[in-house]
Structures are given as C-alpha cells and as structure tokens.
Amino acid sequence: MKMSGSRRLSFVVCGLLALCALAVAAPASAHEHRAVGPKGEYSLIVGWFNEPAYEGVVNAVDIRVLRSGDHSPVNASKGDVVNLQVDVQLRADANEKAAVIESAPLKDKPALTFGTDNRYASWFKPVKAGVYAFHIKGTISDASKPVAGPVTIDETFICGKGSKVEHAFVCLETPQVFPTK
C-alpha cells in the first residue's frame, strides 16, 4: 500500500511534534514534584536549573511554584509572595536520614527567572560530586488572586531517590576532563 505525499507529510509532522513534546517535558521529569502547605495548597517542582549537574560548574536550585487547585503560576512580579530561603546540603548518601556532611544557606534568595511566571532560581557553584539536598523554608501566598492563601513551608528535597519519589533530580556528577594532558 502506497502512502500519498500529504499523508506522509502528516506522519512526519506528527512525529516531529511528538519529539518536541518529549524534549520540552524532559526537564520537568528530572525534578521532584511535591504538594506543600498544611492542605497541599501549593505545588513545588524542585531540581537543578541545568541537568545533569556537574561539580565545578555554576548551577542553581530551580523552584517552580504553582497553586495546587488550578495549577496556575505563583508569580512574584504580579503581587504574589514567594519568600524562600534555601540551605544547600551535601549528604553522606541519598537516604533521607543520612548525615549532612556540610550545609550552607545560599546568599541570594530564589528570584523569579527572566521571562517566566513561576520559575525561581538561586545560583551557586557546587564543587564536590555527591548527594545534594535543598532545604527550602519560607512563605508562599497567591496574593494577586487569593485562593489558597499564605502558607509557611519547611521542606527538604534530596537528589536521586532520597525523597522516595518516582521523579527526582539527579545527584551531582564529576564531568569528564579534556584534554587529559
């Protein structure tokens, strides 16, 4: 059975659209999704800004904030409140009860990323490969369109399967060195 030119073009276009959808969805799957607040009022999607993450390469904690009820963005530039502080932890392993080897608050609070409605980042340079966690605390409020109201959060997101979720962000890796001499 021969396929007409227009039908063949339709298959090619559908295939390309499917590949584009996968490419766009891939970064979000490398983040942990979690409902936060006493009643799960908000959803946080947390991971590395650039994945995979490598030691010695500037990166950021990437936090996307949504209202859980309608999945609308919580946007600080439109009057919503996203007042968060992040402590970065280097842990002994990916177990949630693992020892914290080192911990430090990031100097800058996560700020709204240019051109986005709900993506907040705080940049730093991780210098040792291993298991990282982001301890996020602060307040969120959808003040521009109040539905969920203000909540205080105190959550820790651990790379790998440390948070016991299906989708998690990757742990920090050592990049290949080149040239070797």
Span 119-135, pLDDT tens digits = 999 999 999 999 999 99
What was the pLDDT predicted at 1? 54
On whether both 22 and 40 belong to a single domain, the answer is no
- For every residue of the chain, DSSP letters joined together read -PPPHHHHHHHHHHHHHHHHHHHHHHHHHTSEEEEESTT--EEEEEEESSSS-BTTS-EEEEEEEEETTT--B--GGGT-EEEEEEEEEEESSSSTTS-EEEEEE-SSPPEEPTT-SSEEEEEE---S-BEEEEEEEEEEE-TTS-SS--EEEEEEEETTTTT--SS-PPPBBPPPPSS--
Residue 110 maps to a domain: yes
What was the pLDDT predicted at 144? 82
CA distances from 32 to 25, 28, 43, 163, 174 (A): 13, 8, 10, 8, 22
What was the pLDDT predicted at 33? 93
Residue 172 maps to a domain: no
Residue 174 maps to a domain: no
On whether both 96 and 134 belong to a single domain, the answer is yes
Distance CA 83, CA 118 (A): 13
Q: Based on the structure, what is the number of domains in the chain?
A: 2
Higher pLDDT, 180 or 8: 180
On whether both 13 and 80 belong to a single domain, the answer is no
pLDDT tens digit sequence for 136-174: 999 999 988 888 889 999 999 999 877 777 778 999 999
Mean pLDDT of 5-31: 47
On whether both 6 and 68 belong to a single domain, the answer is no
pLDDT confidence band for 14 (50 / 70 / 90): very low
Smallest CA-to-CA distance from 39 within 136, 152, 158, 164 is with 152
On whether both 18 and 95 belong to a single domain, the answer is no
On whether both 97 and 8 belong to a single domain, the answer is no
On whether both 150 and 140 belong to a single domain, the answer is yes
| Domain region containing 9 | 1-30
Residue 181 maps to a domain: no
Q: Domain of 45: which CATH number?
A: 2.60.40
pLDDT tens digit sequence for 19-76: 333 333 334 458 999 999 999 999 999 999 999 999 999 999 999 999 998 999 999 9
Residue 165 maps to a domain: no
Q: Check whether 5 has a pLDDT greater than 90.
A: no
